[in-house]
A and B are shown apart, each in its own frame.
Chain A
Amino acid sequence: MSLLSIKNLSVTFSTDEAQINAVRGISLDIQAGEILAIVGESGAGKSQVFHALMGLLPANGQAQGEIEFNGLSILNRPPNVLNKIRGKDIGMIFQDPMTALNPYMRIGRQLTEVLEIHQQMIRKVATKIAIEILKKVHIKQAEERFNSYPHELSGGMRQRVVIAMALLCQPQLIIADEPTTALDVTVQTEIIRLLKEIHEIQKTSIVLITHDLPLVAGLCDRIVVMYAGRIVEMGTVDDIFYRAKHPYTQALLMASPRTLKTTSTEKNQKKGRLSAIDGQPPDPLDLPKGCAFHPRCSFVRSGEYVNKQCLNEIPELKQYNSGQQIACFKEHKNG
């Protein structure tokens, strides 16, 4: 049985103007001990999947479908049920470590609070454990830092504190939502190494939500690529990086300046040109008909592959023999 199983999840937001479909039918299984990356642009719905799971949707947000964690249905459950899981079995790491921490509380208290609530520890024991965890996430002089306020720490240190907080109750699953985006490049690598280390020691499952593909290349087992609220491709890290099939995944890889391009065409290219994805990310209020990516798809734009299906029908995610799953009519026809 998988640790977390998401079945046909949809998330909609009702606004004055219209209904926004942020997530449009997603099914996903996460195994125990697995590191999974969810990759997509802003607005792809990648964060909303996990906000729905944690019961963190705003008042105008609605989730439909089914989510099971350890066999227990957790979607749309009341806070008293979720509170027993949140922070205990599922830890969460947010993008901006400054807003994730309470600026008025010393970090030590913020850490011990978690243990007192979830594990009914007395303050003294909780303090000891919290300092141990701070050492584990490589915070130097943990005893002194324990009494610091968040603003006294650097961005990288704050993120370590947030990670420490997520680890306190030894959760089975950690959800890290863009954990390195607000940090410097050198610190990003340290945080990725830390997550890897935690995974190796505690065998925790990790879901890493990011828009930066290369960032997850060395850390994850599987990658899920999302576009406009749907999964467009899913496969092992090697599948995605070496054998990406969906035009969006391919374009995303090519657009990254980090991609090592050593082909001869590169030399002929004008200096400084990157292969951009044309057009804008889709407007969730006015999603394109058919495959949401078709207005930006290089095959459709160049006329190389035009199929009425692309413009009118939504492609289903189909599994191939290799285990890779792709939602693209062009691939369905070839495969």
Chain B
Amino acid sequence: MAKKALLSVENISVVFNKNGKGKNKQVNALNDVSFTLNQNEVLGIVGESGCGKSTLARTILQLQPASSGTVKWKDQNINSFSKTQQKELRKKIQLIFQDPLDALNPRMTVAQIIAEPLRNLMPDLSSETIQKKVQASLFSMGLQVDQQNRYPHEFSGGQCQRIGIARAMMLKPELLVCDEPVSALDVSIQAQIINLLMDLKEQTGMSMIFISHDLSIVRHVCDRVLVLYKGKVVEVAEAETLYTNPQHAYTKTLLNAVPLSDPELERMRIAGS
């Protein structure tokens, strides 16, 4: 069976401060980036801060207009979408953020936060249906239903991230973009959230874009990995291939930077140049 492309990004460039006025110079945040994401695939995007990972995510979500290039959703150019079509598309692509508490409105209760996408994008639903959906969603995220009237600050980081995921999953998206979803969390909680995301992916068959600077997590989660360096794609490969046989020098540097969980090997890694 041929793999079906869900999203294809073709020659995207994003330039900030294009005119280069004043002290600030022109910044090429993304430079001719192309890739395709297949259905039911998890694509990892790795690179250091400032390499354009998040700009790429924002461009896919149409939060950041591209200077040139096209983004295609199921072979349709989304730049040419009408307002209605764009609104439809918003149901299909959802995002979870790095800082779990920052991503939630502090003045809304958990139930309100999770129900918001439904109220905005599916206004036909009755309050009872929404209420039921919210409770079901809380339950499947491993949260307690009686916590639904609490505010975000009453939850721990891991729980806030679960609420963020619940909100993103409310509309049953076909693509979930995760921008550093676990880097603000403790190690023991990271594993819980990763497992939750993987379960959801298995249940719903959605695709994922997983942005991270931590290569060890990307290896666990992703099918394919794209390495970004200074706004350019330097390597795309199957996850295992990338880790066992990296081609680009920068990928090797990144892999070498991951601390090893074995004192003897780690001492050698640090001692090595």
Contact = CB atoms under 8 A, between A and B. Distances in A.
A218 B266 contact: yes
Contacts of A238: 263
A13 interface: no
Contact of A192 (B215, B216, B254, B270): B270
Contact of A276 (B192, B202, B214, B270): B192
B156 A212 contact: no
B159 interface: yes
Contacts of A256: 187, 216, 261
Interface string B182-200: 0000111111101100100
A196 B213 CA distance: 24
Given A260-B260, A260-B262, A251 B188 contact: yes
A184 B253 CA distance: 12
Contacts of A251: 188
Interface in A129-185: 155, 184-185
Interface in B191-248: 191-192, 194-195, 198, 201-202, 213-217, 219-221
Contacts of A217: 259-263, 266-267
Interface stretch (A70-78, A91-99, A267-275, A315-323): A267-275
Interface footprint category on A: 35 or more
Contacts of A252: 187-188
Contact of B269 (A218, A241, A281): A218
A186 interface: yes
A242 B261 CA distance: 10
Contact of A277 (B191, B215, B217, B270): B191
B263 A257 contact: no
A20 interface: no
B204 to A, nearest CB: 14
A276 B192 CA distance: 5
A22 to B, nearest CB: 16
B49 interface: yes
Nearest to A44: B186
Binding site of B, secondary structure by majority: helix, strand, loop or mixed?
helix
Contacts of B216: 256-258
A213 B187 CA distance: 9
A79 interface: no
Contact of B191 (A155, A186, A193, A276): A276
Given A41-B187, A41-B188, A241-B263, A257 B270 contact: no
Interface in A243-279: 251-253, 255-260, 270-278
A214 B261 contact: yes
B198 A272 contact: yes
A42 interface: yes
Given A184-B49, A280-B156, A258 B263 contact: no
B108 to A, nearest CB: 22
Interface in B107-158: 156-158
Contacts of A272: 42, 194-195, 198, 201, 220-221
B261 A213 contact: yes
Given A185-B258, A237-B263, A257 B188 contact: no
Given A185-B258, A274-B194, A280-B156, A255 B187 contact: yes
Contacts of A196: 270
Contacts of A185: 48, 213-215, 254, 257-258
Interface string A186-222: 1111001100100000000000000111110111000
A257 B217 CA distance: 6
B259 A186 contact: no
A41 B186 contact: yes
Given A41-B189, A185-B215, A280-B159, 4 more contacts: A155-B49, A185-B214, A185-B254, A255-B187
Interface of B: 42, 48-49, 156-159, 186-192, 194-195, 198, 201-202, 213-217, 219-221, 253-254, 256-263, 266-271
30 contacts: A41-B187, A184-B48, A185-B213, A186-B48, A189-B256, A213-B261, A214-B261, A217-B260, A217-B261, A217-B263, A219-B270, A241-B262, A251-B188, A256-B216, A257-B194, A257-B214, A257-B219, A258-B216, A258-B259, A270-B198, A270-B202, A272-B42, A272-B195, A273-B195, A274-B191, A274-B220, A276-B195, A277-B191, A280-B189, A281-B189
